[in-house]
Amino acid sequence: MRCMAAGKLARGDEMNQDTLLNVKQVAQYLQLKESTIYSWAQDGKIPAIKIGRTWRFRRVDLDGWLERHLKGEGDKGAAEIA
């Protein structure tokens, strides 16, 4: 039984990484307006999947995208402030 519980936890963690978020959830997560998220998704500026008429976002994709942008803009931000 103990192994089965560990297996369920592992699968649960996997699902958290692949969880699909909607525009409202992404806007809250990134602290931006929903209209910004829609615009970025349509322009391909943020990793998104369109399912029917709705946009969905994988949490793991957003985290990777955010890391890349934070690293890339860290130097620019410091240069602009100085």
For the stretch 23-72, pLDDT in tens is 999 999 999 999 999 999 999 999 999 999 999 999 999 999 999 988 88
- Residue by residue, DSSP assigns 25-66 as HHHHHHT--HHHHHHHHHHTSS--EEETTEEEEEHHHHHHHH
Confidence band, pLDDT 50/70/90 cuts, at residue 17: low
User: CATH number of the domain at 20-81, out of 2.60.120, 1.10.1660, 3.30.110, 1.10.3470?
Assistant: 1.10.1660
d(CA 46, CA 23): 11
pLDDT score recorded for residue 43? 97
Confidence band, pLDDT 50/70/90 cuts, at residue 9: very low
Considering only CA atoms, which of 32, 21, 23 is closest in space to residue 60?
Answer: 21
Q: Look up the pTM and report it.
A: 0.67
